[in-house]
Amino acid sequence: MARVLLSHGWDFLRNNEQPTATATSVVAANARPLHLRLALEELGPTFVKLGQILSTRADLLPPEYLVELTKLQDSATPVAFEEIREALATELGRPIEDVFAQFDPVPLAAASIGQAHAATLWDGTEVVVKVRRPGIVEQVNEDLEILKELAATASRHWNFADRYDLVGLVEEFSQTLRAELDYIREGHNAERFAANFAGDSHIHVPRVFWEMTTTRVLTLERMRGIKINDLKALDEQGTDRRWLADYATNVVVKMVCEDGFFHADPHPGNFFIEPNDAIGLIDFGMVGMLDEQTQDLLAELLIAINHQDADRLVDVFLELGVTRKRIDRASVRRDIERLLSAYWGLPLGELKVTALLNDVYSVMRAHQMHLPPNLALLLKTLIMVEGLGVTLDPDFHLTNSLSRYTERLVLRQYSPFKWMRSFGRASLALAKLGTEMPQHLRRIVTAAENGNLQIGMRPEGFDPVIDRLERIANRIVLGVIAAAFINGLAVLASVYRPPGWERWGWAVFTFGFVCALLLGVYLAWNILRPGRSRRV
């Protein structure tokens, strides 16, 4: 790994410096995103997945990096069919000839984690069989351990890594990637989507064949249709693209606003339009979830935007968890006011969600904020959905679809039933606190009597004071050293006169005097210089 990182200019990733000549002398500053992508591709599947996730984090990386990382393709050299045959026999407990009437040895797709094959069951049902690559779990675990060590090292030496809690981000990535390795989880995701759209004849979610599904093998009903971005084929089929853009968008918005469980990878390859214009969904490895509290906060966010309330927006941002460090609230408020003024009075139908989110991301990066994973997935999904809608219909505006659901969110936020539920939960919490309070007080009193009472504090607000005290202490030490030099020279010159002092004593005195003078001058300069923010 070290060799790959150095060959692609690791110094600029670690120290935010220009790439060294030994790394790649021809690389200019504007080629850094390219080198990051090339390094991730060379490091293998785990790092390709990392790059793909980073390509969705506009709150962390500037646009030029996002554009480059979106070029990462989750493709790999296909595994030999004999290995696939052996893996299937091991997982299913019998030869594939006993399970499938037909099994195509040529994969439909080969990705970094697994590959998909077309097959037919003995009853004639066409299926797609996803098989995890041999040894991929061990490789991913090893790569993730390396990533964790790398993140910990970077956090100690790289300000960016420390500001954005790189260790925490790697842990979040580890959880996401390990979830994708479990095909049983993906099967349950598919069934949950099927249940959420059970009453919608225009949504087709593939059936899961559990008797042929394990953590390593996933067997799904095969979906046939036209890819949603194949405009010529859609027109030939007679599909109303304007209707399709609106309907497909409403499907995703319903997932977010009503179900709280959404498909987090809505790229065109995962949507098939069947002859009856039903939308077939595939690939349920990456999903996002929003709990009721987060949905309520999103409603608060919409209300604050509608009322141009910058203070309320800052409060919602902080409650959503977009920062883990102290921020300059006044500065954030000014930037948000500036952002809101740019969109003031703009009709909802003319608002581009992608442009708005890009402006929000700029404010976040300027103040070292970042989103929790579920919200990062949500905003990435909205951007992809808007791009999909515009592809189908150039006049498409995502805000028209969003407005219908945001009204429901706001109404739910202030509905009497919600207030009654909140009051009920608060009453239960208060009753529990009342019954537990005497026990907690007894523990505190007992600890105080035994001398074991400890109070934890996070002294983040004292950092400037501590730094200043350290600088004062350093200056005092320098002053004491300088005074000790002068005092020692005076004593040496007046009391102690060893043999030969007349010949070389003047040199010792001069050397000591110069050292004391330099220390004094340095101390005076450090105290009097403008911008005394550095430590002595």
CA 504-507-512 angle, to 5 degrees, is 135
Would you list the domain boundaries of the chain? 1-74, 76-222, 229-414, 419-446, 467-528
Contact 348, 403 (CB under 8 A): yes
SS (H, E, C) 151-173: HHHHHHHCHHHHHCCHHHHHHHH
Between the CA of residue 176 and those of 140, 164, 470, 482, 507, what are the distances in Å? 12, 18, 43, 59, 70
Q: For 207, which DSSP code?
A: P
The more confidently predicted of residues 522 and 254 is 254
| Three-state SS at 106 | coil
Which H or E run includes 220?
strand 217-221
255 has pLDDT over 50: yes
Query: What pLDDT was estimated at residue 18?
Result: 38
pLDDT score of 535: 43
> What's the rounded Cα separation, in Å, for the pair 405 and 388?
19
Spatial distance between the Cα atoms of 160 and 370, rounded to a whole number of angstroms: 12
**pLDDT score for 190:** 95
| Structure-model confidence comparison of residues 344 and 177, the more confident one | 177
* Residue predicted with more confidence, 485 or 218: 218
Whether the Cβ atoms of residue 512 and residue 485 lie closer than 8 Å to each other: yes
CA distance 505 to 402: 88
Rounded (10°) angle between helices 166-181 and 136-157: 170
Strands 114-121 and 109-110, by their bridges, are antiparallel
Q: What is the pLDDT of residue 432?
A: 75
Q: Is there a contact between 222 and 126 (Cβ–Cβ < 8 Å)?
A: yes
Note the pLDDT of residue 528.
63
Residue 8 buriedness (CB in 10 A; 0-12 / 13-18 / 19+): buried
Q: How far is residue 152's CA from residue 270's CA, in Å, rounded to a whole number?
A: 36
Which of the following is catalytic: 59, 143, 265, 283?
265
DSSP-derived letter for residue 470 is H
Distance CA(415)–CA(417), nearest Å, equals 5
Identify whether the C-beta of residue 412 lies closer than 8 Å to the C-beta of residue 276: no
What SS3 state is found at 249? helix
Is 265 tagged catalytic?
Answer: yes
Please report the pLDDT score of residue 95 as a whole number.
93
Please tell me whether residue 48 adopts helix, strand or coil conformation: helix
Give per-residue pLDDT as tens, 361-383: 788 878 777 777 788 888 888 88
pLDDT at res. 41: 80
At 113-136, the pLDDT tens digits run 889 999 999 999 999 999 999 888
- Cα(258)–Cα(416) distance, integer angstroms: 18
Give backbone dihedrals phi and psi of 393, rounded to 5 degrees, phi first.
Answer: -145, 105
DSSP per-residue codes, 5-53: HHHTTHHHHHH--PPPHHHHTT--GGGHHHHHHHHHHHH-HHHHHHHHH
At 455, phi and psi to the nearest 5?
-120, 120
